[in-house]
């Protein structure tokens, strides 16, 4: 049986009560209560529309991979390996692209400053007045401590180059397992330019979270940069704001702390406080974000950093300021304003995620409760070997080289159809 068919009564009962327990961080391997897609129902109807619930339920027949044709994907593939938004970009972003498409023959040097302003206003950051000579207004700085660029990966590389290396040497501390984007950039610099830079990987806790105490102990006279990815990729775990604050306060001021919040919009903890405030209070904290995940704009490559104005100036001076396309900027500005779309995607993601949780439990597979758009699953066998089997059946997932998670596979959360088809193939491979 490919998947369990939900009953309308089950959805009705759960639609009336959204358990607060599902919004809190739980330890890995604990049994997860199933919301039965009530969050997704809310995002589609914006009300407890039980008629729509019946429609959704009746459509949950077994779905084959061959039937899939996701947004931006070829038919017959469940591409759930790159943490992309399967629901597409904001309609407002698409409208902004359409409205500007006929202007691409003209330079728009002020577009990225407008995006910096939009980000600053979105995050409620303090603005500093900047005066430019007459006739140069289109080049005027936004006045916000924000730096925008063509994708957050570019910014991570800049941070590795500027703050990971001091006087030709350095030491970067990161979690294992982690995204390691900064570490990869540092290793590239070392290979190309002979930079004396080392990577110190600190193992995650048993709950696959950052071990901040161990990271503090790992600091040496050589340490130049510490990276925290929150929520962490690939584990999906988060850190409480107060713990991050205490950690930052304990780190020497000459060491830069990067907090990558690429998946912050998916956090399920109610009223969760981000690290943006810390980036404004400390001169050695940078927070980075991207439009590639929640906002569904991976192909447009837009990311940003916030921090002390001096840090933003250094990043801008060493970067490609103005290199980000004007259409990309206007699409990002429109996406920031579409808060309804963000709620919509979060609800749909949570609905698919909770469905996936229940099916994993039915298969006897443990997982790490996730605050991101993906789930780490212990498949009780070599993850790389099973990944190849899934790939042969057009299910694209991700595994990692870390010995800590060698039996794990990271599944990006796709549409309900994609997750249902994935469960069918996974069931075949697990049970034979």
- Please give the Cα distance from 379 to 409 (Å, whole number): 7
pLDDT at 140: 61
Claim to verify: residue 216 and residue 108 sit in the same structural domain: yes
CATH number at residue 12: 3.90.1150.10
Peptide bond into 231 cis (omega under 30): yes
Q: Which of 307, 337, 367 is the last residue in one of the domains?
A: 337
Claim to verify: residue 179 and residue 255 sit in the same structural domain: yes
pLDDT tens-digit map of 252-303: 999 999 999 999 999 999 999 999 999 999 999 999 999 999 999 999 999 9
Residue whose structure tokens are 């910014």: 155
Which ranges of 83-209 would DSSP assign to H, the alpha helix? 91-100, 111-122, 152-163, 181-193
Q: Choose from 121-135, 188-202, 333-347 the range with maximum mean pLDDT.
A: 333-347
pLDDT at 221: 95
The answer as to whether 1 is a domain residue is no
Please check whether residue 100 is in contact with residue 300, taking contact to mean a CB–CB distance below 8 angstroms: no
59 lies in which domain range?
A: 8-89+340-431
pLDDT tens-digit map of 409-419: 999 999 999 99
pLDDT tens-digit map of 111-155: 999 999 999 999 999 998 776 656 555 556 789 999 999 989 999
- Please give the Cα distance from 161 to 397 (Å, whole number): 31
Claim to verify: residue 220 and residue 143 sit in the same structural domain: yes
pLDDT tens-digit map of 318-337: 876 557 899 999 999 999 99
Claim to verify: residue 159 and residue 192 sit in the same structural domain: yes
- Please give the Cα distance from 122 to 116 (Å, whole number): 10
The answer as to whether 71 is a domain residue is yes
pLDDT tens-digit map of 157-173: 999 999 998 888 899 99
Claim to verify: residue 75 and residue 39 sit in the same structural domain: yes
**pLDDT exceeds cutoff 60 at 33:** no
**pLDDT exceeds cutoff 90 at 19:** no
Claim to verify: residue 187 and residue 302 sit in the same structural domain: yes
CATH number at residue 307: 3.40.640.10
- What average pLDDT does the segment 219-242 reach? 97
**From the CA atom positions of the chain, what is the Rg in Å?**
22
């Amino acid at each position: 049986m490919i998947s369990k068919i939900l009953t309308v009564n089950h959805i009705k009962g759960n639609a009336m009560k959204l358990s607060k327990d599902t919004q809190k961080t739980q330890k890995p391997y604990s049994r997860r209560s199933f919301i039965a897609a009530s969050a997704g129902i809310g995002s589609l109807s914006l009300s407890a529309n039980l008629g729509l619930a019946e429609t959704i339920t009746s459509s949950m027949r077994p779905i084959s991979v061959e039937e899939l044709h996701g947004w931006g994907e070829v038919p017959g593939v469940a591409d759930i390996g790159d943490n992309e938004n399967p629901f597409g970009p904001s309609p407002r972003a698409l409208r902004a692209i359409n409205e500007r498409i006929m202007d691409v023959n003209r330079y728009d040097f002020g577009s990225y400053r407008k995006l910096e302003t939009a980000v600053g206003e979105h995050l409620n950051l303090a603005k500093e007045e900047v005066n430019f000579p007459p006739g140069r207004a289109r080049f005027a700085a936004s006045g916000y401590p924000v730096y925008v660029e063509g994708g957050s990966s570019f910014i991570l590389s800049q941070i590795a180059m500027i703050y990971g290396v001091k006087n030709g040497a350095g030491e970067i501390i990161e979690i294992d397992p982690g995204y390691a984007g900064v570490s990869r950039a540092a290793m590239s610099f070392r290979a190309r330019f002979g930079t004396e830079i080392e990577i110190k990987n600190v193992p995650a806790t048993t709950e696959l979270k950052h071990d901040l105490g161990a990271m503090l102990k790992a600091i040496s006279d050589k340490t130049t940069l510490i990276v925290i990815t929150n929520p962490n990729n690939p584990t999906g775990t988060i850190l409480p704001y107060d713990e991050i604050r205490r950690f930052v306060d304990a780190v020497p001021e000459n060491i830069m702390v990067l907090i990558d919040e690429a998946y912050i919009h998916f956090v399920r903890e109610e009223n969760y406080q981000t690290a943006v405030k810390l980036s404004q209070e400390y001169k050695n904290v940078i927070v980075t974000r991207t439009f590639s995940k929640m906002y569904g704009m991976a192909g447009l490559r837009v990311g940003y950093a916030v921090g002390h104005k001096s840090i933003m100036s250094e990043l801008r001076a060493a970067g490609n300021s103005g290199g980000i396309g004007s259409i990309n900027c206007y699409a990002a500005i429109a996406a920031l304003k579409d808060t309804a779309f963000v709620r919509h995607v979060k609800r749909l993601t949570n609905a698919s995620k909770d469905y996936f949780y229940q099916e994993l439990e039915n298969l006897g597979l443990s997982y790490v409760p996730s605050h991101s758009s993906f789930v780490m699953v212990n498949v009780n066998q070599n993850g790389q070997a099973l990944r190849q089997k899934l790939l042969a059946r057009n299910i694209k997932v991700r595994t990692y080289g870390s010995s800590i998670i060698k039996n794990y596979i990271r599944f990006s959360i796709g549409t309900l159809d994609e997750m249902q088809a994935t469960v069918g193939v996974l069931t075949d491979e697990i049970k034979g």
